[in-house]
Amino acid sequence: MENLLTSCFVLAVVLATATRLWLALRQIRHVRLHRDSVPAGFESAIPLTAHRTAADYCIAKTRLGILDLMIGVVALLGLTLGGGLQALHDALAAVLDPAGLWHGLWLIVGAVLVLAALELPVTLWRTFVIEARFGFNRQTLGLFLADLARQGAVGAALGIPLIVLVLWLMAAMGPEWWLYVWGAWVAFNLLLLLAYPTVIAPLFNRFTPLSDPALAGRIDALLARCGFRASGLFVMDGSKRSNHGNAYFTGFGAAKRIVLFDTLLARLTPAEIEAVLAHELGHFSRHHVWKRVSILFATSLVLLWMLGQLAGFAAFYEGLGVTTPSTAIALLLFFLVVPVFTFFLQPLASLLSRSHEFEADAYAATHSSAADLVRALVRLYQDNAATLTPDPLYSAFYDSHPPAATRIARLQEATG
């Protein structure tokens, strides 16, 4: 049985990796092929130099993604079939009771730290080479390291209690432990959604009330038309890390906030900002956030049930390179391996996300100006160096937003 699982795992890794490489190479080839010609409909708005910059930026990111992919595959195989998890288990067993909760906790923490350390060089290169080369990075090394320390502290403060609770539930709740763990996971995520705007986000950025009374009045009028209530309008100092612009809503219930990046305010007109926010309001009006959360919770329930069935079989561990079963090992193995087998479901998730974007655009066209949203999107595509010519298959597989030409064509139809 373990040989069959090993064979299935290796086959899945090979197929997923080969597909990802093929898609990345398609993307690079397609973007390079269209680098020297601005797509029809964008010629008057986006200069050829900006289009070429976006193509080069896309190609650079995709190439780095290939390196990141290969590092991830080596790490996955090293931790599983290469015996990495077993070696970490044995090293900790020399100082901690291998049947105890603390051994399981530090085994999971150790594996997470190994993966984070392998990812760090890629993140540094992305931030200080690629983002800097194209004029987007504004982080200093000191700020990057401070962010890393804060992320580690927040991750430990939130993650360690959750891991301890999950391991305890797995050991104490019998065969139905997976249902109790799912309940804890749901509660944790809802608490995180509630706490993020006011507790976690301010640890990394400064949020100040929107000081432009004319813009604030315009946004208040939009909220009134849409029947939407928020706890405040805030400007985030995104420019201290990046030159990219964005806007978003966060929180739920009475804790909902509207957040505008300072870089966005510097680039768009008030009418364009209103149209962008109308799009975001469309996501709330169409309940996209809760639909996605519901899918996440339903998927996690199914996955935890599957883990509950597999955790009692020795072949599950032996087929993935581990000879000493434990609850912590079961968790690690399962969530390391699951992405390989679910990779080919990615286009479905992307399709759902793109349909939500079309719905939000339609909402914005109804409650604001479709023409203003078009102008805002074109400006954001240019300022963020987003390619206008992605490979169609790559885009269908990965992209959470529709291609620029398709999206803007639909909005232009709404303008009559």
Q: How far apart are CA 258 and CA 388, in angstroms?
A: 28
Task: Please enumerate in sequence order all residues whose Cβ is within 8 A of that of 411, keeping only pairs 6 or more positions apart, or say none.
Answer: 361, 365, 370, 373, 374, 377
Structure tokens at 37: 């010609």
Reduced to 3 states (helix: H, G, I; strand: E, B; else coil), residue 82 is: coil
- Torsion angles phi and psi, residue 44, rounded to 5: -80, -15
Residues pairing with 260 in the sheet: 235, 247
Q: Which one is catalytic: 68, 272, 280, 372?
A: 280
> Residues 107, 100: contact at Cβ < 8 Å?
no
DSSP 39: P
Q: Which one is catalytic: 272, 274, 361, 391?
A: 361
Q: How far apart are CA 92 and CA 70, in angstroms?
A: 28
Structure tokens at 76: 């996955």
Task: Please enumerate in sequence order all residues whose Cβ is within 8 A of that of 222, keeping only pairs 6 or more positions apart, or say none.
Answer: 274, 277, 278, 281, 367, 368
- N-terminal to C-terminal alpha carbon distance within the chain: 62
Mark whether 361 is an active-site residue.
Answer: yes
Mark whether 359 is an active-site residue.
Answer: no
Burial of 174 (0-12, 13-18, 19+ CB in 10 A): exposed
DSSP 397: H
Instruction: Tell me how crowded residue 346 is: count the other CB atoms within 10 A of its CB.
Output: 16
Known catalytic residues? 280, 361
